[in-house]
Amino acid sequence: MINLLESLRAIAREDQILQNEPMSKHTTFRVGGPADVLFLPEGEEQLIGALEAAKAAGVPVVVIGNGSNLVVRDGGIRGLVIAIGEGMAAIARTENVLTAWAGASLARVAAYAQASGLSGLEFASGIPGTLGGGCAMNAGAYGGQLADCLVDAQVYLNGEVRTLTKDVMQMGYRTSLPLREGGIVLSARFMLTPDDPEAIAARMRELNARRRDKQPLNFPSAGSTFKRPEGYFAGALIEQSGLKGLAVGGAQVSEKHAGFIVNAGGATASDVLALIERVQDAVEARFGVRLETEVRILGED
Identify whether 187 is a catalytic site residue: no
pLDDT of residue 261: 98
Among 30, 73, 174, 189, the active-site one is: 174
Q: Which pTM value belongs to this model?
A: 0.93
**Mean per-residue pLDDT for 61-69?**
94
- Residue 251 contacts residue 166 (beta carbons within 8 Å): no
- Residue 91 contacts residue 50 (beta carbons within 8 Å): no
Question: What does pLDDT average to over the chain?
Answer: 96
Report whether pLDDT(75) > 90. yes
Helix spans in the chain (H): 2-11, 44-57, 106-115, 131-136, 166-169, 177-181, 197-214, 234-240, 269-287
Q: For residues 89 and 111, what is the distance between their CA atoms, to the nearest angstrom?
A: 14
- Torsion over CA: 174, 176, 180, 184 (sign): negative
pLDDT of residue 1: 86
**Mean per-residue pLDDT for 113-120?**
98
Q: For residues 259 and 265, what is the distance between their CA atoms, to the nearest angstrom?
A: 18
Fold of 234-298: 3.90.78
Identify whether 254 is a catalytic site residue: no
Q: Which amino acid is at 189?
A: R
Among 21, 44, 122, 294, the active-site one is: 294
Query: Residue ranges of the domains in the chain?
Result: 2-87, 89-213, 234-298
Strands 61-64 and 34-39: unpaired
What are the tens digits of pLDDT across the range 221-277?
Answer: 999 999 999 999 999 999 999 999 999 999 999 999 999 999 999 999 999 999 999
Report whether pLDDT(49) > 90. yes
What are the tens digits of pLDDT across the range 183-232?
Answer: 999 999 999 999 999 999 999 999 999 999 999 999 999 999 999 999 99
Identify whether 174 is a catalytic site residue: yes
pLDDT of residue 2: 86
Q: For residue 91, what are the β-bridge partners? A: 100
- Torsion over CA: 4, 73, 104, 185 (sign): positive
Among 125, 224, 241, 254, the active-site one is: 224
Architecture of domain 89-213: 2-Layer Sandwich (3.30)
pLDDT band at 147 (very low <50, low <70, confident <90, very high): very high
CATH class of 2-87: alpha beta
